[in-house]
Chains A and B, each alone.
Chain A
Amino acid sequence: MRAIITVVGKDRVGIIAAISTLLAENNVNILDISQTIMQGFFTMIMLVDLQNCKIKFSELKDLLIKRGREIGVDVNMQHEDLFNAINRI
């Protein structure tokens, strides 16, 4: 299963590290990553592979949201299929 993780918030040092460390700890592979500053906000989009993830989808999502809160950014994780359904015929 693949998922899209988005991270939006005020730019600061260590955002990518905080998120990617958490993913590595849970055996989640990052397949693609793009990062930009949009309208003054740090915006990062990751495509990740959850096939070997050690924990359940909802648990990982909660951990990500919690970690995001600690460093002051909004983190979101949704199944890739939602983006496929809406954006691809």
Chain B
Amino acid sequence: MTTKRFFAAALLVTLVLAGIVSYYASSHPDGLERVAEDKGINAAEKDHALKDSPLGDYGVKGVENSRLSGGLSGVIGVAAVLVVGGGLFWVLRRRDPSADGSASQGEARGAAGERGAATPSRDA
């Protein structure tokens, strides 16, 4: 599988999980919430400062359909994480691959380049 194809497949899986499958997630309190309720450690809990934000509580304000609202918020979240996280990692990355000196990475890169001969640009 070429790197490009792998990334496309991973992105598709991620979008389906956040946009569609998330609707079927359990709505029961999670482990922390459960313990907080049972043991009373949430007595001093405060509302979130941004609880009325447009995406608060994993929905999109103004979208009535809960399936659409939740799914859309998931897709927006995935996009936001990709932009912020991906941008950060892209800025942080090593610029000179030869400085690494890792033979296995060089081989993998070479093999991927040969396999992806149809696409002249580097997969990424």
Report whether chain A binds chain B: no
